[in-house]
Amino acid sequence: MAAAVRGTEELELLERLLGLPGGNKYGVQGERKVPVLQTNNGPGLMGLMTIAAHLVRQARKEQLLGSSAEEKAVVQQWLEYRVTRVNGGSSKEDTRTILKDLNMHLEDKVYLAGNIFTLADILMYYGLHHIMVDLTVQEKEKYLNVSRWFNHIQHYPGVRQHLSNVVFIKNRLYTNAH
Amino acid sequence: MLLRVPPGAPAALKVLAAAGAAPAPVRPHLGDPAEGPELELDSGTVLFSANAICQYFYLCRGEEPTDLTTQWLEWEATELQPAVVAALYLRLVQGRAGPDALGLLQHLLAHLEQHLARSGTAHLAGDAVSVADVVVWGSLFPVLQDDTSLPSELQVLRSWFRAMSLWEPCRDAAALLPEAPRELRAHLARRPPPLPTPQGARGGVPAGRGRLAGAGAARRSPGSPQDEEGPERAPSDADVAAAVEMWARGPAALPPPRQPRAPVLPVEGERNVLITSALPYVNNVPHLGNIIGCVLSADTFARYCRLRNWNTLFVCGTDEYGTATETRALEEGLSPQQLCDRYHALHADIYTWFRISFDHFGRTTTPQQTRIAQDIFQRLLARGFLLQDTLEQLRCESCGRYLADRFVEGTCPFCAYAEARGDQCDRCGKLINAVELKDPRCKVCRGTPTVTPTQHLFLDLPKLEGRLEAWLERTWAAGDWTANARHITRTWLRDGLKPRCITRDLTWGTPVPLDGFRDKVFYVWFDAPIGYLSITADYTEHWERWWKNPQQVELYNFMAKDNVPFHSVVFPCSLLGADDNYTLVNHLIATEYLNYEDGKFSKSRGVGVFGDMAKDTGIPADVWRFYLLYLRPEGQDSAFSWADLLLKNNSELLNNLGNFINRAGMFVCKFFGGVVPAMALTPEDQRLLARVTLEVRQYHQLMEKVRIRDALRCVLSISRHGNQYIQVNEPWKRIKGDERDRQRAGTVTGVAVNVAAALGALLQPFVPGVSAAIQAQLRIPPERCGLGPGLTCTLPAGHRVGTVSPLFQKLEPEQVEALRQRFGGGQVSGAQAKQPPPASAPPPAPTAAAAPGDPKLIQELTEQVAKQGTLVRQLKAAQVEKAQVDAQVAKLLELKQQLALAEGRSPEVPKGKRKK
C-alpha cells in the first residue's frame, strides 16, 4: 500500500502551492502525530486544518476558504471530514465508506464546495492520494465521481507537485458491473 | 432553513445553543431519528457536521473564524468528541460509574484548564463567548452535567463551565433536552461501541461519523463482559427491605473470624483454594508490570479468599535454574547458587514491602524440586510419553561442554555481521539457529566449537493431546479462565502440538536421572512449574494433600499472558502423562501487559519503575498497590503514567475514599465525643443502605470471578455514595440545630461511620495497610472485621472510636514530575505539558546577519563549532543526563547552521532529529 502523505509534508506542499516563501517550522505532537506550526510568539498552532487555514490567510488567498457564509461552512465541514475520517490509517471498510460518501456528494458538483475550488479540495486530494493510487481500474470506475474530481484536482496548477500522477481511463470498461 | 436535531445525539446540544445564539433564531425540529443534527440551507445544501452548523450560525452573526476558533473546533472534532463518546458509552450503555468515564477525559480536561488558566480570559478564544466555547461546552455537558463533577483541582475550567451552563443560549438548549441522558443512552446503544480509549490514549474514534458515513453500521462487540451488567440501577423496594434486614442483623451477619492454622491444609467439606503466582525469574528485578501481572493480583485474590474464610494457600517462589542464571553468575564472578541466594533475598524483600501475603515464598533449587521433578519424569518415562532424538549442538572442547545459544558468537549467515549472537543477529535482527553461525566462537574461551550431534529427550505432546483436550473441556466448563487464556490455548491446540525437548546440556538444573543423560539437566520449562509443587513440599510435608487432590482443591494460577501456554498446555500434559491424580489448574487468570508511560518497561534502558525502587519514591506501598490494581490490565493492555498516578491518588484516594472515611470518623469524634450516636433510619438512609449493599454484592460477584479491578471500582462507588450522603444531609449544620436536627445528625453520622467500617473490610484485599489503619482508628474489634454479604451495623450506638487521622497524603505535581524525570518516560503528553510544544532553541543573536563570506565571522564560528563539539563529546562520554546533552547538541546544530549561512551554503536541516 502506498504511504500516506504525512501532515507536515502536506503542509509544505500547501505552502508551495500557495506561493508562500516557506521557512515555517513544523513539528508533530502526540500519538496521532498532529502537526504543530511553531510561531515566534505564543504556543503555536495545532492541527492540520487549523494550520492550513492559517497558511491560506497568510497567503491572502481567502477565497480558498469560501466567500459566503454557506461556502465557508461547507469548506469547514469537509476539512473536518478530512481530519476526522481520512486520516491515513483507515481500514479497508472505512476507505470504502469514505469513497462512497464522496462519490455521492460529488454527484452534482465540480468541487467539494460546489462550483469553487477551495482548500477542502486541496487537502482532500492530499489525503486521498495514497488511497487512489492503489485503486483498481474497476474501483476507480465504481467511484466515478470521485475519480473525475480527483483527476481534475491533480491537474489543477500547482497542486500535485511531486506526487505521482494517478491514471484514469477515459472509456468505461465495466459497464455491467453495477 | 431547516434544522433537524435528534435529541439523543451527543452533538445536539451545541447545535441548539449555537442556533439560540444566531441573529435570527431557528426553530429546531426535534426527534428526527437521524444519525446527527443537520441543517438544510435554503439553497438546498445540507450541512451534516455539527461544528460546521455551529460555525454557520456564528458566520451569520458576522463572526469570522480565527486561527484560535478553528483550532478549538478541530481539537473538539478530533480529540474531545471521540473521548466523550467513549466516556458516555462506558457510563450510559455499560453502566460504569461516572469517574471511570471521566478518566477517559482527564488529559483533555487538563488541556482545557491549562489553556484557560494561561490565557487569563474567561473564554476559549478572544474576549467573548465564541463558537469555540459553544462547541466545547456542548460536547462536555452530557458527560459532566454540572461543574461539581469536575475534579476540584480544575478550578478555572470549573468556573468556565459553570458560566457557560448559565449563559442563556446554553441554558435554553439544555432545557430543550430534558430527557437527554435517556435519549443519549438509546442513541449510543444503537451504534457500534467506540474503540476502547485507554487512559491517556490520544488515538480514538472518528465519532463524528456524519450521517453520510456508515449509517447503520451496527456492529457490536460480541460478548464483551460489561454487556451483562447493564447500567447502575436504582435499588428496588425489595432491595431496600433486604438491606434494612441485613443492617439489623449486626455483627451476626459477618463470618466468624478466621482461625489461622499452620500449615494450611485442605479440609474436607470446606472450600479449599490453592493459589499460585507465576514464579519470577530470579536474576531479574521485577518491574511494576510483573508485580501487577502475577504476585499482586494473586495476593489480592488470596486475601479476599481468606476474608471469605475459605481455606487458602498462596505459594510462590523464585525460578532459579537455567542458562540465564549461569551466564549472569559467570559475569558477576559468583557461583550460580550464590547468585540465586542474593537475588532470592532481593525478591523476598520487594514482596514483603508490597505486603504480599504468601503463605510460603520458596525457590526451585531445593531437594524437594529434584525429588518431585525426577518422580514426574520417571512416571512419564514408564508410561511411554518420552521420546529420544538427536539434536545438533555446538560443543566447545576446551571448555568441555555444549554451548547454550547465548554462549556462542559468530558471523551472521544472513548479513555477515561478525558479532552475531547465537540466537539473533543484532544488525539484521534475524533469528539464528546457533549451528548456522559462520565462524562460531565460544564466548567464554574464544575457542572454536564444533557441531556435535547429541541425544535429547522429548515430551510426546501429540500423544497426550487427546487427554489434554478432554481435560480442557471439563475445566473450561466449570472454571473461570480469562478470555486471553482460552484464546491462547486454543491457538496452540489449533496449530497442533509437537514433541518438546525437556533436556538441556547444562549443569545448573535438576539432573536427569537416566543413563546416557546423566550429564544433562531438565529444561526450565519442564522443571519450573514443578516448582509450585516443590515449594509447597518445602512448606509442608503434607503437600500431596494440595497437589494430588483435585476432588477437594480448586487451583488458581495467576500470570501474565505470555506464560499461558506453559500453564494451560505443557505443564498439564506433564501431569496428565505422569498420571498420579494431580491437581490441575481450574482457573487460569492471565493479565495483559502494563506499559510504562508511552512505552515499555526496560531495565537496560533504565525506563520504568522496578520493584526495588518503588520504596525509594516515598510513595507508600498501599498507594502503589491501589494504583496498580486500579490499572490492572484486565481485558486490555494499560499504561502506567505518573500524571495519572497523581490524579488517582489525589482524586480517588484522598478526595473520595480518604475524605469520606475521615469525615465519618471525625463527626463521631467532634460532635459525639467519640461515641457512635443512636440511629433512627429514615427512608433516605435505607436507600443508602440498599445502594451500598448492591455495590457489596456486585463486589463479591466480581471478586469471585477474579475481576479485581472492577471490584475496586465498586469500593470506590460506595465511598462516593457515602460522600454524597454526607453532603446532602449536612450533619455539621444539623448538629447546631434543634433536637430533631441533632438526632438526624446522629443518624447520618452513625450510618456513615458504619459504611466506613464496611469499607475497612472491603479494602483489605487491595490496601491491607489502609484497611488496618481504618480498623484501628475506629477501634473495630477483630471479630467484627469480617467481610459480610452486605452492609451491616457493626458499630452500634455506644461504640467508642479511637483517634481519627487522615489516611492519605496529597501528591504534588512537582514531586511526581521529579519522579517521572528520574525514572524516565515518554515525552510529556498534551495533558501534562506545562509548556507549549518544544520550541527550538532561542534564535541566535543576529550575528549571522552579516554578509555571507565574511572571513572573520567564518573563523569565529568555526572555532565556536569546534569548541561546542568538544563539549558535547565530553558530556556524552561522562554520561550526563540526556536533557542536558540534548540542549548542548541543539546549540551545536544552531552554530553549524550559522556557519553554513556565513559560508553561503544552504544549512543542512538535521533530519530525523525528532526521533521517538
% chain B with pLDDT above 90: 46
Residues A124, A111: Cα–Cα separation, whole Å: 11
Residue A178 has pLDDT above 70, yes or no: no
Helix (H, G, I), strand (E, B) or coil at B687: helix
Task: Find, in chain A, the residue whose alpha carbon is nearest to that of B208.
Answer: A84
Which amino acid is it at B135? V
Which amino acid is it at B252? A
**What does the buried/exposed string (b/e) look like for B174-193 if buried means 16 or more CB atoms within 10 Å of the residue's CB?**
bebbeebeebbbebbeebeb
What confidence score (pLDDT) does residue A170 get?
Answer: 75
Task: For residue B9, give the H/E element and its range.
Answer: none
pLDDT single digits (tens) A89-137: 667 888 888 999 999 999 999 999 999 999 999 999 999 999 999 888 8
- CB-CB under 8 Å, B49 with A81: yes
Residue B426 has pLDDT above 70, yes or no: yes
- Which residue among A73, A80, A83 places its CB closest to the CB of B59? A73
Q: How far is A94 from chain B (nearest CA, A)?
A: 8
Substitution target from A84, A97, A107, A146 for chain B, most B beta carbons within 10 A: A84
Q: How far is B203 from chain A (nearest CA, A)?
A: 6
- CB-CB under 8 Å, B829 with A30: yes
Residues B342, B128: Cα–Cα separation, whole Å: 66
Stretch B233-261: mean pLDDT = 85
- Which residue among B77, B209, B830 places its CB closest to the CB of A80? B77
| Partners of residue B363 on adjacent β-strands | B318
Write the DSSP symbol of residue B62.
T
Substitution target from B67, B829, B832, B901 for chain A, most A beta carbons within 10 A: B67
Q: In what order do the strands lie in the sheet with B408-411?
A: B420-421, B408-411, B438-442
pLDDT single digits (tens) B213-231: 333 333 223 333 333 333 3
What confidence score (pLDDT) does residue A4 get?
Answer: 63
Collect all residues of chain A within an 8 Å Cβ-Cβ radius of residue B3: none
Maximum Cα–Cα distance across chain B: 97
Collect all residues of chain A within an 8 Å Cβ-Cβ radius of residue B51: 76-77, 80
Residue B131 CB coordination number (10 Å): 27
Q: How far is B723 from chain A (nearest CA, A)?
A: 37
pLDDT-wise least confident of B399-413, B706-720, B751-765, B785-799: B399-413
Task: Find, in chain B, the residue whose alpha carbon is nearest to that of A70.
Answer: B56
Residue B232 has pLDDT above 80, yes or no: no
% chain B with pLDDT above 70: 85
Task: Find, in chain B, the residue whose alpha carbon is nearest to that of A90.
Answer: B206
Collect all residues of chain B within an 8 Å Cβ-Cβ radius of residue A30: 202, 829-830
Cβ within 8 Å of residue A15, ≥6 positions away = A22, A24, A55
- CB-CB under 8 Å, B70 with A50: yes
Substitution target from A80, A95, A98 for chain B, most B beta carbons within 10 A: A80
Residue B87 has pLDDT above 50, yes or no: yes
pLDDT band at B9 (very low <50, low <70, confident <90, very high): confident
Q: How far is B701 from chain A (nearest CA, A)?
A: 37
| Mean pLDDT (chain B, rounded) | 83
Q: Cα A15 from chain centroid?
A: 14
Which amino acid is it at B305? C
How many CB pairs (< 8 A) connect A and B? Answer: 117
* Cell matching residue A39: 510561531
Domains of chain B: which residue ranges? 2-190, 272-374+527-615, 655-800, 855-903
Instruction: Please state the φ and ψ torsions of residue A36, each to the nearest 5 degrees.
Output: -130, 130
pLDDT single digits (tens) B559-570: 998 889 999 999
Residues B441, B447, B450, B452: is their CA dihedral positive or negative?
negative
What confidence score (pLDDT) does residue B462 get?
Answer: 94
Q: How far is A16 from chain B (nearest CA, A)?
A: 18
- Which residue among A32, A50, A114 places its CB closest to the CB of B67? A50
Residues of A with CB under 8 A from a CB of B: 25, 27-32, 34, 36, 38, 40, 42-50, 53-54, 57, 69-70, 72-74, 76-77, 80-81, 83-85, 87, 97-98, 101, 104-105, 114
Task: Find, in chain B, the residue whose alpha carbon is nearest to that of A112.
Answer: B45
- Which residue among B213, B829, B830 places its CB closest to the CB of A101? B213
Residue B888 CB coordination number (10 Å): 18
Angstrom CA distances, B202 to A83, A91, B90, B205, stand at 14, 18, 17, 10
pLDDT single digits (tens) B334-386: 999 999 999 999 999 999 999 999 999 999 999 999 999 999 999 999 999 99
What confidence score (pLDDT) does residue A38 get?
Answer: 83
pLDDT band at B34 (very low <50, low <70, confident <90, very high): low
Task: Write the CATH number of the domain with boundaries B272-374+527-615.
Answer: 3.40.50.620
Residue B346 CB coordination number (10 Å): 16
Residue B257 CB coordination number (10 Å): 13
Residues B629, B713: Cα–Cα separation, whole Å: 10
* Cell matching residue B541: 510435608
What confidence score (pLDDT) does residue B908 get?
Answer: 44
Residue B208 has pLDDT above 70, yes or no: no
Cβ within 8 Å of residue B662, ≥6 positions away = B804, B805, B806, B807
Collect all residues of chain A within an 8 Å Cβ-Cβ radius of residue B838: 27
CATH of the structural domain B655-800, one choice from 3.40.50.11540, 1.10.10.10, 3.40.50.620, 1.10.730.10: 1.10.730.10
| Mean pLDDT (chain A, rounded) | 87
Collect all residues of chain B within an 8 Å Cβ-Cβ radius of residue A114: 45
Domains parsed from chain A with CATH numbers? 1-155 (1.20.1050.10)
Task: Write the CATH number of the domain with boundaries B2-190.
Answer: 1.20.1050.10
Task: Find, in chain A, the residue whose alpha carbon is nearest to that of B81.
Answer: A84
Architecture label for domain B855-903: Orthogonal Bundle (1.10)
pLDDT single digits (tens) B576-609: 999 999 999 999 999 988 888 867 777 666 677 8
Residue B886 has pLDDT above 80, yes or no: no
HEC string of chain A? Answer: CCCCCCHHHHHHHHHHHHCCCCCCEEEEECCCCEEEEECCCCCCEECHHHHHHHHHHHCCCHHHHCCCHHHHHHHHHHHHHHHHCCCCCCCHHHHHHHHHHHHHHHHHCCECCECCCCHHHHHHHHHHHHHHHCCCHHHHHHCHHHHHHHHHHHCCCCCCCCCCCCCCCCCCCCCCCC
Inter-residue contact A66 to A104 (CB < 8 Å): no
pLDDT single digits (tens) B821-880: 888 754 333 333 333 333 333 333 333 333 445 666 767 777 777 777 777 777 666 666
Residue B915 has pLDDT above 50, yes or no: no
To 5 degrees, how large is the angle CA B714–CA B715–CA B719? 115
* Cell matching residue B871: 563539549
- Which residue among A27, A31, A36 places its CB closest to the CB of B202? A31
Instruction: Please state the φ and ψ torsions of residue B800, each to the nearest 5 degrees.
Output: -100, 125
Collect all residues of chain B within an 8 Å Cβ-Cβ radius of residue A105: 212
Stretch B71-77: mean pLDDT = 94
Task: For residue B736, give the H/E element and its range.
Answer: none
- Which residue among A25, A30, A76 places its CB closest to the CB of B55? A76
Task: For residue B81, give the H/E element and its range.
Answer: helix B81-88
- CB-CB under 8 Å, B56 with A73: yes
- Which residue among A74, A84, A101 places its CB closest to the CB of B78? A84
pLDDT band at B900 (very low <50, low <70, confident <90, very high): low
- CB-CB under 8 Å, B47 with A38: no
Write the DSSP symbol of residue B589.
E
Which amino acid is it at A64? L
Q: How far is A29 from chain B (nearest CA, A)?
A: 8
- Which residue among B55, B206, B598 places its CB closest to the CB of A85? B206
Residue B97 has pLDDT above 80, yes or no: no
pLDDT band at B203 (very low <50, low <70, confident <90, very high): very low
What confidence score (pLDDT) does residue B44 get?
Answer: 85
| Burial degree of B798 (CB within 10 A; 0-12, 13-18, 19+) | exposed
- Which residue among A80, A87, A114 places its CB closest to the CB of B51? A80
Inter-residue contact B674 to B272 (CB < 8 Å): no
What confidence score (pLDDT) does residue B180 get?
Answer: 58
More confident residue, B639 or B472: B472
Collect all residues of chain A within an 8 Å Cβ-Cβ radius of residue B125: none
pLDDT single digits (tens) B257-267: 777 788 999 99
To 5 degrees, how large is the angle CA B10–CA B11–CA B14? 125
What confidence score (pLDDT) does residue B224 get?
Answer: 33
- CB-CB under 8 Å, A84 with B60: no
Collect all residues of chain A within an 8 Å Cβ-Cβ radius of residue B112: none
- Which residue among B41, B59, B843 places its CB closest to the CB of A72? B59
Task: Find, in chain A, the residue whose alpha carbon is nearest to that of B50.
Answer: A77
Instruction: Please state the φ and ψ torsions of residue B529, each to the nearest 5 degrees.
Output: -65, -25
Pairing of the two strands B272-277 and B311-318? parallel
- CB-CB under 8 Å, B48 with A50: no
Q: Cα B314 from chain centroid?
A: 23
Residue B884 has pLDDT above 80, yes or no: no
Inter-residue contact B749 to B731 (CB < 8 Å): yes
Collect all residues of chain A within an 8 Å Cβ-Cβ radius of residue B121: none
pLDDT band at B628 (very low <50, low <70, confident <90, very high): very high
Q: How far is B192 from chain A (nearest CA, A)?
A: 14
Collect all residues of chain A within an 8 Å Cβ-Cβ radius of residue B836: 42-44
Helix/strand number for chain B, H first, E second:
35, 20
Residues B279, B286: Cα–Cα separation, whole Å: 11
- Which residue among B41, B56, B203 places its CB closest to the CB of A31? B203
- CB-CB under 8 Å, A70 with B56: yes
- CB-CB under 8 Å, A84 with B208: yes
Domains B2-190 and B655-800 share a fold: no
Inter-residue contact B779 to B802 (CB < 8 Å): yes
Q: How far is A109 from chain B (nearest CA, A)?
A: 11
- Report pTM: 0.58
**What does the buried/exposed string (b/e) look like for B299-325 if buried means 16 or more CB atoms within 10 Å of the residue's CB?**
bbbbbbbbbbbbbbbbbbbbbbbbbbb
